[in-house]
Amino acid sequence: MTAPRTVTAAASPGPGPGPGPARRGWRAPSVIPGFGPTLGITLGYLGLVVLIPLAALVWRSTELGAAAFWDLARDPRTLAALRTSFGAALIAAGVNAVFGALVAWVLVRYRFAGRRLLDAVVDLPFALPTAVAGIALAALYGPQGWLGKPLAALGIQVAYAPAGIVVALVFVGLPFVVRTLQPVIAEIDREWEEAAASLGARRAQTVRRVIAPSLLPAWATGFALALARGVGEYGSVIFIAGNLPHVSEIAPLLIVIKLEEFNYPAATAVGVMMLSISFALLLVINLLQAWNRRRLTDAR
């Protein structure tokens, strides 16, 4: 429950001076003491927790050799799995960006009976072991499930198909968008909306021209978090995906399969591919955000 909140605080859009050109130097002069020790600890900690394991991953994957790595990367099954994983995660993050924003808006802006309960429900995807969520979703969307049966009658198959993966990822990704946007929506100045209205803007114009742009940075962060989570998700997906190679097999499952074959180098190699793509995606999102922030603060 606290995890996404913490992330939010760090990622909140902060209209103040961002890391603009003035601060490009290695270290800006600052009145806040303790830069040295805190940076040292930060680097040490990040190294221990994140960088060293990742380095080990890369190291392990090199055992495969360049040629084998390249073959694996071009293997249609690998490509299909990567496409499934990233495609489903992107779609799910997109769905969550829209509906999560709506949920966050309703939770912040309106007072109604059961609001607190609903607020707590948003965190459930975090609290639940993902396998339990996967089994529940599979039962619900399965051919005999409450939702699966009527959907099947309409000719729509969700469980054991790529659509099932998206459903599972929407489920696990929702809290990221909601929790990221909530504090930012709460900070929207009521007077902006009133000013817009007094200038003749209709409600839809106010939302599009005033509210949405001020939510954009947090929105992008929420999207990125949901995406990252979706890419790495395993537990809830494998129960509902059907796991057909080339169709509904996700990359993390492919890794597990390689592990079960004791093919550690191949498993880590797929991991490295995922890592690179994820890193590239997050980098693009961050660059977009930085560009947006600079547009807002450094314009002259």
Partner 1 sequence: MDVRIDHVRKEFGRFAALDDTSLTIHDGELVALLGPSGSGKTTLLRVLAGLERPSAGRILFGDQDAASLSVQERNIGFVFQHYALFKHMTVLDNVAFGLSVCPARRRPPRAEIAARARRLLALVQIDGLDRRYPDQLSGGQRQRVALARALATDPRVLLLDEPFGALDARVRKDLRHWLRGFHDRTGHTTVFVTHDQDEALELADRVVVMNAGRVEQVADPDTLYDRPASPFVFAFIGDSSSLPATVRAGRLWVAGRALGPVPAADGPVRLFFRPHHARLADTGALVGRVVASRRQGDRRRLDVALRPDAPSDAPSDAPPDAPSDAAGPPHSADLPRPGDAPAASTPVEIDVATDAAPPVGASIRFDITRPSLFPAPAAPRRPIVVAPRPGTALAPPGPKPDRAHAAG
Among 130, 214, 221, 278, binds partner 1 (CB under 8 A): 214
> 155 vs 200, which CB is nearer to partner 1?
200
Shortest Cβ 224–partner 1 spacing (Å): 20
Stretch that binds partner 1, among 61-69, 110-118, 137-145, 195-203 (CB under 8 A): 195-203
3-class SS of residue 233: coil
Nearest to 271 by CA among 251, 250, 247: 251
**Residues in contact with partner 1, total (CB under 8 A)?**
24
Q: Radius of gyration of the chain from Cα atoms? A: 22
Residue located via tokens 């797929």: 270
Report which of 161, 118, 123 is spatially closest to residue 142, judged by C-alpha positions: 161
Residue 96 vs residues 11, 78, 104, 227: alpha-carbon distances, Å:
18, 27, 11, 10
Name every residue whose Cβ is closer than 8 Å to that of residue 218 and which is 6 or more positions away in sequence. 8, 11, 12, 13, 180, 181, 183, 184
| Position 209 contacts partner 1 (CB under 8 A) | yes
Q: Residue 292 corresponds to which tokens in the numbers above? A: 């947006």
Per CB under 8 A, the segment of 26-34, 36-44, 210-218, 233-241 that binds partner 1 is 210-218
Of the two residues 153 and 199, which places its CB atom closer to partner 1 in the complex? 199
Interface with partner 1 includes 6 (CB under 8 A)?
no
- Could you say which residues in the range 48-107 bind partner 1, by CB under 8 A? none
Are 245 and 77 in contact by the 8 Å Cβ rule? The answer is: yes
Binding residues for partner 1 restricted to 257-296, rule: CB under 8 A = 296
CB of 187 to partner 1, least distance (A): 11
> Is 189 an interacting residue with respect to partner 1 (CB under 8 A)?
yes
DSSP designation for 169: H
* Contact between 201 and partner 1 per CB under 8 A: yes
Determine if 199 is a binding residue for partner 1 (CB under 8 A).
yes
Residues binding partner 1 (CB under 8 A): 15-16, 189, 191-192, 194-202, 205, 209-210, 213-214, 216, 296-297, 299-300
